[in-house]
Amino acid sequence: MNTKNSMKQHNSNNISHHILPNSATMVGVCIMVISIVKSMAPGLTNYLIDKAVAIDSLLFMISALLSFLSIRLERSTVGLERWAEIIFLLGLVSMTLITVIFSFEII
């Protein structure tokens, strides 16, 4: 039974090693999108894209921070890793929704 918990902890810790670099990459993608939108003509749509992607960037940053803490802390960090995973997925879903909404000009 102890081996099972050890394996679960090891597998769980591997998720943080994947979330951290991908979250950091997504923060970079958000920064790039914001800079492209800022170079376009001002308007309500561009304003909304800018703010939505900025919030999405914060989600990815929080996810990266939680996964980093999960890797670095010595105590059990399953909870941190779980939150990092949930927030990362929330960021991905929100970025997809932002893309669909503005690509099809729903707003």
DSSP 42: P
Radius of gyration in angstroms for the set of CA atoms belonging to the chain, rounded to a whole number: 17
Is the entire prediction scored with pTM above 0.85?
A: no
Rounded CA-CA distance 38/26 in Å is 18
Q: How do the domains of the chain map onto residue ranges?
A: 2-103
Query: Could you tell me the two tokens for 44?
Result: 């309500």
pLDDT per residue as tens, the chain (107 positions): 454 554 445 455 588 899 999 999 999 999 999 999 889 889 888 899 999 999 999 999 999 999 999 999 988 888 999 999 999 999 999 999 999 988 887 76
Contact 27, 57 (CB under 8 A): yes
Least Cα distance to 62 among 80, 50, 44, 77 occurs for: 80
